[in-house]
Amino acid sequence: MVCEILSVGTELLMGQVANTDAQYISQRLTSVGITVYRHTVVGDNAGRLDEALETALLRSDMVITTGGLGPTEDDLTKETVAQHFSLKLVEDAGSLENLMAFQKRIGRPITQNNFKQALIPEGSIVMPNRVGTAPGCIIEKDNKTVAVLPGPPSEMKDMFENCLFPYLQKKSGQTLVSRYLHIFGIGESTIETQLQDLFHLGSPTLALYCSTAECTARISVMCALGEDPAPILDPVENEIRRRLGNAVYAEGLYEDLPGTVLKMLKAQGKTVSFAESCTGGMLSSSIVDLSGASEVFSESYITYSNDAKRRLLGVREETLLFSGAVSRACAQEMAYGTRKNSGSDYALSITGIAGPDGGTAEKPVGLVYIGLADREGAYAHEFRFHGNRTNIRTASVKHALNLLRLTLINKA
Q: pLDDT tens across 27-37, in order?
A: 999 888 899 99
Give the pLDDT band of residue 245 (cuts 50, 70, 90): very high
Phi, psi of 290 (to 5 degrees): -100, 140
- What is the pLDDT averaged over residues 51-76? 94
Q: State the Cα–Cα distance between residues 145 and 302, nearest whole angstrom.
A: 56
Under 8 Å between Cβ of 366 and 384 = yes
341 in Cβ contact with 347 (< 8 Å) = no
Average pLDDT over residues 283-304: 98
Q: How far apart are CA 287 and CA 293, in angstroms?
A: 6
| pLDDT average, residue stretch 103-124 | 89
Q: What is the pLDDT at residue 185?
A: 93
Paired sense of beta strands 297-302 and 346-352, if any: unpaired
Distances (CA, A) of 70 to 76, 150, 166, 212: 8, 8, 25, 39
| Range with the poorest average pLDDT among 89-103, 290-304, 332-346 | 89-103
**Is residue 375 a contact partner of residue 344, using CB atoms and an 8 Å limit?**
no
Beta strands 297-302 and 272-276, pairing class:
parallel
Q: Which of 113-117, 226-230, 234-238 has the highest mean pLDDT?
A: 234-238
pLDDT band at 72 (very low <50, low <70, confident <90, very high): confident
The pLDDT score that the predictor gives to residue 103 is: 84
pLDDT value at position 118? Answer: 92
Instruction: Kindly tell me if the per-residue pLDDT of 1 is higher than 90.
Output: no
Question: Which residues in 174-194 are b (16+ Cβ under 10 Å) and which e?
Answer: ebbbbbbbbbbbbeeeebeee
Mean pLDDT value of segment 14-43: 94
162-190 pLDDT, tens digit per residue, is 999 999 988 888 888 899 999 999 999 99
| Residues 385-412: tens digit of each pLDDT | 999 999 999 999 999 999 999 999 998 7
Residue 382 pLDDT: 98
354 in helix, strand or coil?
Answer: coil
Please provide the size of the chain in residues: 412
% of the chain at pLDDT higher than 70: 100
CA distances from 81 to 47, 62, 154, 281, 370 (A): 11, 13, 23, 50, 57
Q: Is the pLDDT of residue 108 over 90?
A: no
Q: What is the pLDDT of residues 129-148, one digit of tens each?
A: 999 899 999 999 999 999 99
Query: What does the mean pLDDT of the chain come to?
Result: 95
Residue 17 has pLDDT above 90, yes or no: yes
**Do residues 219 and 181 lie in contact, with contact meaning Cβ atoms separated by under 8 Å?**
yes
CA–CA gap between residue 237 and residue 244 (Å, rounded)? 11
Identify the pLDDT of residue 172: 86
Question: What domains sit in the chain, N to C, each tagged with a CATH number?
Answer: 2-172 (3.40.980.10), 177-251 (3.30.70.2860), 257-411 (3.90.950.20)
